[in-house]
Every structure is written in structure tokens, then in C-alpha cells.
Structure 1
């Protein structure tokens, strides 16, 4: 019994001595609870919408004011022509456009009915459905308030139109998202254990005395995995195109370029994890738990980032998956080019440079 008790005490010493393990054991449950509590929600809030008001009368202005007063929408743009709708959708920020017909107020009085068109960006079907439902609900509530003193009720008839994904196929959302998650996790896991394996097997000393410079070791660790990750990307895109009829509206060259950039960012992030991890187990757990949850929850893959609390929206900016999902949806579904996606491209490039630079610095520190 004394031996068993001593063995148990020794195990506790091992656990509490490893600070990284303690962070994973006690920190990750807290992070998961916070992420699932704030990020996992089907509600929408602060969604940017635009208005095309052909009537410009008192009734349309009241409706716009009612929409702006809700916590669900922000009217960020007023457009004057239908040709601007696709342009504003391609920028990716506005999720819906509300179109008022000519003579809106006159039609309500003369015909007891007026039409409003709701045009949504359906590259994210769940968000498009929610936006359409919430806007329709606001219009119906306004109609109810308007009819309280009317003997003959007025009707405001919403007409819905979906851009880019009119059938609201959920696969159009899941193929880009799954591709992002797989590339991030596979690339990061493969590279995160690369340097850690060298330390555990005792071959790190060979690298330390070799004539290779730190950046050469880092690049050498990343290079073989690039081809494996590219193969995964090609397989996913082919399955999406041939099996699920996923469109590829944009440039194939730009799609390949952005995919390679994202793969490099994931591989570089994996190398960074491996340089600061002592064991393969720690590196793998950090890759799985530290990357999987943020990639799924905070990238905009399933849940809209605009509906999350401001701190989580800020944190999402440092997640490479967020920027790649914007890029791949823009290329596949909207057919936009680098003139629209240049900012997201530069963000990925900056992340690659930052991750590789930090990896080299950590590697140099271990050499000293």
C-alpha cells in the first residue's frame, strides 16, 4: 500500500511539474466552455446590410429606422442601382440588400399592398436563411403596427432572392470549410511533431552540430509536407466539383496560389508549435486542441463572426482559417479576383513571415 501511495504521489509530481500539461488540463476546458458559450449560436447580430430605396418616402424611412434600431442589423450602405448589388456582395461584408419598389407609400394607400425585395448573399446558407427570417419578421411586425388603426389592412409583401447559392445547398458552405479545417489540422499536426520527434529520439544533437543554418532546418522540415497538403487540397476540390457539383467561378491559378499560401501558413504554424514543445504528445495536443476549436468555431466556417462578442471577433483575426475561408468562398462561389481579395492575401503572407520568423528565433534560442 505504501508503494502504491508513493507511486501515486510521484505521478502527481510529474503532472504538476509539467506546466504545459497543467495548462492543457485546466486551461482548455475553460477555453472550450467560453468558445462554445459565445461562438456557438444560431442567432445573428450586427449583420451589415445595404438598402436600395427607389421610393425614398416617409414609410421606407420608418422601416429603415426600425431595422437599424434592432440589434440584428446595421445599415452600412445606401445604393442607387441594382448593378451595385453584386459588386457590394463580392466585397464580402454586406450580407443582404433590401430593395423598396417605386411609390412604396402610394401603393400601400392606393392598393393596400407594397413589395419589398430581400436579396441575400447565400454563400453561407445558414446565415442567409437567418437574415431572411429576421428581416421578414421585422417587416411583419411593422405591418402589424401600421394596421392597428386601419379598417382595411395594409400588406407589405417580402420577396426573397438568393445570390450565388439560390438552392441554399449546405455543401457549398461545408466544402470550403472542411477543406480549410483538414488542411490546417493535417499540416499543423504533421509539422508540429517533426522537430519534437528529433528531440525525443536524440537526433537533435546531429542537427545542432550540422553545418545547416536554423532557417535551412526549418525550411527542410516544412518542404516535404507541402506536397502532401497540396494533394489533400486537390482531392477535396475534385470531390467537391465532381461529386457535389461545387462551382469554381473564379481563376484556377488564383485558387491554387491562395491554397498554397494557406498551406504554408498552416505548416509554418505547426513548425512554431514544434519548436516550443518538449514532447510529441504536447505538440500534438497543442495542435489538436489549440487549432481545431478556433479553426472550427472562430473562422466563420459554421457560425457568423459578426454575431460573436467583440473580443472573439478580434481574436478571429489572428486565425489563418478565417482569411482563407473568405478567399476560397470568394473564388469558388463569387468568381472574384485579386483586386477584391488582396487584403486577405496580404494577411496570409504576413502570417507566414511571422510564424517562420518566430520559429527561427525559438530555434536559435535553443542553440544558445
Structure 2
């Protein structure tokens, strides 16, 4: 144990003496959390929409048919209780819902006016705004068509309710995304480069022939980045709460536990890269290009995954940042417990286990 602690202290000393490393570790989260505060607007297609038709009359069926004909939505019809509707939003089954009240057609005929309720998951405010605008345009088009056909000035009003983020603050979307991005880059790149550096300088051979077990040599190099990454998590959360006014609605302990799980996943990915590469430049290139682009493109942070081709949607399932992004949003924004994120947690555990097993089998005690 004393030897293990000595290696950990050695690695801490390497990190603390390197000012560039410290700048990357602690400067990057602060800069990105502020820069990525700008809203990003993207076209949204093939979004799952829940139709709650309490009316079941001619007018509601005609409007539902018009929504189904749109390329923007994939309709799921069901009559659900308010609790079941909220559960569907929490689990991410749907992003928007349309609720038709009882007597929708009768209200149009006798009162020349009716209303429908639009519910949207505003944890991603840009997507929520886009979807409600699409639905508003469809309702308005339906209203205009009926006015021309019947010669009666019908008026259909939409009552919009934004769930989880009524003020449509951008922080609800980019804080979880930046957290995933920062932890992925810091843990993967720093771990990979630090281990490959030992190979290039020749010190890895000395460490491997020491009485210390090779596995513990690798683990000792990863421990400092685990602790430093937790400091990054704390700094991001403090900025979120006190600067961006984004409180953590769920369990802070669960959020830290899931962050540790994701950090370990990223560290094993860094170890895997270090095992497969022999130079710091290659390790850094793979870490930056191989991790940065998938995290941005396939995590759902900046671009809706459902807009992508099926092949890319399938590929996104192997990107750890996607599952961590869902976990952070579920805990921070929706206030969910472990029961709502156990599937994502299990996937991260399986990815970690796979990378660890492959890395250990590929690790060579004797360096050529």
C-alpha cells in the first residue's frame, strides 16, 4: 500500500509541476461552461409525440391526421393519466404531447372556439421551442383550412406548458453537455498521454520490473485524474448553481456517484488508447479527434440524435457521453432517482468492463 501511495504522490507531483496541464484541467471547464451558454437552434425531425385524445371526435381526428402527415413527428396515441404522461417525459419516451379536451368538436361547432394543450420537455429549450412552433403552425393551418371550408371563423387556441424549464434557460441543456465533454477530454487525454509519456522516456520499463504489480502501476496513474476530475465536477456545479441559477433538483450524492462512474469509464478509455499507441502525439490526436467529435455529435448535446440516419443512431449507443448526458439531465433537471437511470448506468458499467478487459489483455509487460 505504501508503494501504491508513493506512485500516486509521484503522479500528483507530475501534474502540479506542469502548468499547461493545470491550465487544461481547470481552465477548460470554466471557459467552456461560459462559451457554450449560447443557444443553438437546429431543425428537429422524427420526434416522438404523444397524442392524448380525450375528445375522440371528428375535429380531433382530423387534426391528429394532419400531425401524422408532418415529417417532424412520429405519433404515439394513447389516453394516459397525468402521472403516466409525466413518467413518459421523465423516461425520455416523448419530447412533446398534445392533449385534446373532452368536447373539442362541440366547442368548435357551438362556440366557434376550442383549445388544445401542448406539453414539451424544456430540459432542451431549443428543441422544445422548435417543436411547439411546429405544432402551432400545424394547428393554425388546420384552423385556416376549416375556416375556408365552412365559412365559419373558428378559433383554436394552444395552451403551451414547458416542463422542467418554464423560463427556457439555455443552461438546462449545455451544462450537462459541457460536463460530459470536459470529463471525457480531460480523463481520456490526460490518462493516455501520461502513460505513453512513461513509454517514450523509458521509465515504464523501470516501473514494470519493479516489485510493484503492473496493474497497480496503471491504476496509480489514473487515480490523480479521478480526483482532479471530481474537482472539475464541483466547479461546474458551483458555476451552474451560483452563476447560471441552475439548481440540482435530484440527489447530489447520486449525481456524484454517476460522475465517478463516467470518470472511471473515461479513464479506462484513456488506458485503452495508451495500450494501443506508442507516442504522445498519436495518443493526444486519438484522444482529441476520436473523443471530441463523437462527444459533440453523438451525445445529443448539440444535435438531436433522432435526426440522424439509423446507422449513426446505432453508433451513438457506443458513445459513453450520450448515456452520461441523459443521466445528468435526468438528475439535475428532472429530479429523477436511480430507478429512472439504471439502464444508462448499466450501459456505462458494461462499456467500462469491456474496455478494461481488452486493455488488460492487450497490455504487454515487456516493452519492445
- CA distance in 1 between counterparts of 2:77 and 2:217 reads 50
- Offset at residue 365 of structure 1 (A): 8.0
User: What is aligned with 1:206?
Assistant: 206
- Offset at residue 221 of structure 1 (A): 2.2
Are 2:343 and 1:343 equivalent residues in the alignment? yes
User: What is aligned with 1:133?
Assistant: 133
Q: Which moved more, 1:239-248 or 1:151-160?
A: 151-160
User: What is aligned with 1:304?
Assistant: 304
Q: TM-score, normalised by structure 2?
A: 0.85
Are 2:67 and 1:67 equivalent residues in the alignment? yes
Q: Structure 1: which 5+ runs fail to align?
A: 1-39
- Compute the RMSD of aligned alpha carbons: 1.7
User: What is aligned with 2:334?
Assistant: 334
The DSSP-based 3-state class of the residue aligned with 1:79 is coil
Q: 1:237 to 1:126 in 2, by over 3 A?
A: same
- Offset at residue 77 of structure 1 (A): 4.7
- Offset at residue 62 of structure 1 (A): 2.0
User: What is aligned with 1:321?
Assistant: 321
Q: Structure 2: which 5+ runs fail to align?
A: 1-39
The DSSP-based 3-state class of the residue aligned with 1:49 is strand
- CA distance in 1 between counterparts of 2:191 and 2:77 reads 44
The DSSP-based 3-state class of the residue aligned with 1:317 is helix
User: What is aligned with 1:222?
Assistant: 222
The DSSP-based 3-state class of the residue aligned with 1:193 is helix
- CA distance in 1 between counterparts of 2:152 and 2:194 reads 74
* Counterpart contact for 2:41–2:126, Cα < 8 Å: no
User: What is aligned with 2:161?
Assistant: 161
User: What is aligned with 2:20?
Assistant: none
The DSSP-based 3-state class of the residue aligned with 2:247 is coil
Are 2:88 and 1:88 equivalent residues in the alignment? yes
> How many aligned residue pairs are there?
329
Q: Which moved more, 1:174-183 or 1:73-82?
A: 73-82
User: What is aligned with 1:99?
Assistant: 99
Q: Spell out, residue by residue over 1:135-183, the C-alpha distance to the aligned partner (whole angstroms, 9 max, x if none).
A: 1111122222222222222222111110000000001111111111111
Are 2:151 and 1:151 equivalent residues in the alignment? yes
Q: 1:153 to 1:179 in 2, by over 3 A?
A: same
- CA distance in 2 between counterparts of 1:242 and 1:339 reads 28
Which ranges of 4 or more aligned residues in structure 1 deviate by more than 4 Å?
A: 365-368
Are 2:177 and 1:177 equivalent residues in the alignment? yes
